[in-house]
Amino acid sequence: MLPLDDLFVLDFSTLLPGPLASLFLAEAGAQVVRVERPGGEDLRRFPPRFGETSAPFAVLNRGKRSIEIDLKAPDALARLTPLIERADILIEQFRPGVMERLGFGYEALKALNPRLIYCSISGYGQSGPRAQEAGHDINYQAIGGLLSQSLKRGAPPPLPPALVADIGGGAMPAALNILLALRQRERRGEGCHLDIAMADAMPTFAWYGLAQGQATGRYPEGGEGLLTGASPRYGLYATSDGWFLAVGALEQKFWEGFCEAIDLAPALRDDRVAPETTRAAVAALIAAQSAAYWRDHLEPRDCCCTVVRSLEEALADPHLTARGALDAQAEEPGGRRLVSTPLPLAPVFREKGEGLKQVPASGADQNLLLPSGEKVARRSRDG
């Protein structure tokens, strides 16, 4: 048994945040039904293709079911009512007010199912002056102050590779709050409406800068924070062959081991005296050798130094294989298989013997819907 195997989830969301949140629930045992517009949601058309479907869609939606319905149709609510009445959780990701205009707002569905946990994920939340403003991950990082932590004025701007707002501000808070709402429902016997705003969580990821600014009266700009460039103990250093060494030797014992390993001059090892001078000296020493040299020379010394891996190298790392992080596979409708999105679920909550799950074709489970025009009341009365 898995912890959520008695739960039924309706997922109206698209793209990344909502589908990743429902993947967490599905991998923990919940039955998830994707409610898609006719023709399927937009992510099904994102490149690259993988057999008969989209690879980005496949890695997020294994083990789920799919129905298609036009939510603007007059009978849409009637056709979905039996599913809404049995649902434990509903996830939606429209702009605030859209579900209400379609007749699927929280208050309307609460009347059908008072125990329903209704999770709304949006960029800026259901209320506030930016509630109706469009945006994507990079916009939420920008407005929340997180992006500024890695930017130096006048320097070429790096584009963050991680979709921190979508995943850390949307999917993961949604999954966490859904689990909290389930616990609350056990006590109170009723559901609730969860308002998840991706922008709200961005200052969370700038926690150190937030503390520093309030304590000193000056908030750090890019390159000035302990973890964003101010310390030579924490950062990226270029190697002789154009690759990078990631150094995280914050604690004194790790710093001393690192300094000894690269043979940094003793006069420069107290990095509080002249941190920029120390950083420059470290950079010169690292740049004198290749990434392979530093991998062999530093990584075994246990001083928090790691040569940056490519994504392909990371997937081949024996540690990930040993941990089972890559066991989950998705099979698209044509039969081709790929590794699903790895989730940080503890091994005890991973389903044993279920390494391979199907990716649903759009509308593959249409039989879950009432035929158009059939009366909900008659269906309910007849059992």
Q: Which residues are catalytic?
A: 136, 166
Contact indicator for 226, 216 with CB cutoff of 8 Å? no
Intra-chain end-to-end CA distance of the chain, in Å: 28
CB count in 10 Å sphere of residue 118:
26
Question: Distance between CA atoms of 361 and 64, rounded to whole angstroms?
Answer: 10
Q: How far is CA 326 from the centre of its chain?
A: 17
Q: 10 Å Cβ neighbour count for 220?
A: 21
Report the DSSP pairing between strands 337-339 and 305-307: unpaired
Q: How many Cβ atoms from other residues are within 10 Å of residue 307's Cβ?
A: 19
Q: Give φ, ψ of 45 to 5 degrees.
A: -105, 5
- With helix as H, strand as E and coil as C, how does 262-299 read? HCCCHHHCCCCCCHHHHHHHHHHHHHCCCHHHHHHHHH
Element (H or E) spanning 245, and its range? strand 244-248
Q: How far apart are CA 142 and CA 154, in angstroms?
A: 17
d(CA 293, CA 113) in angstroms, rounded, equals 62
Alpha-carbon distance of 38 to 67, in angstroms, equals 9
Residue 370 and residue 75 in contact, taking contact as beta carbons nearer than 8 Å? no
Beta bridge partners of 118: 90, 193
Residue 294 in contact with residue 232, Cβ under 8 Å? Answer: no
**Contact, 138 vs 147, CB < 8 A?**
yes
SS3 helix, strand, coil % of the chain, rounded to 5? Answer: 45, 15, 45
Amino acid letter at 192? Answer: C
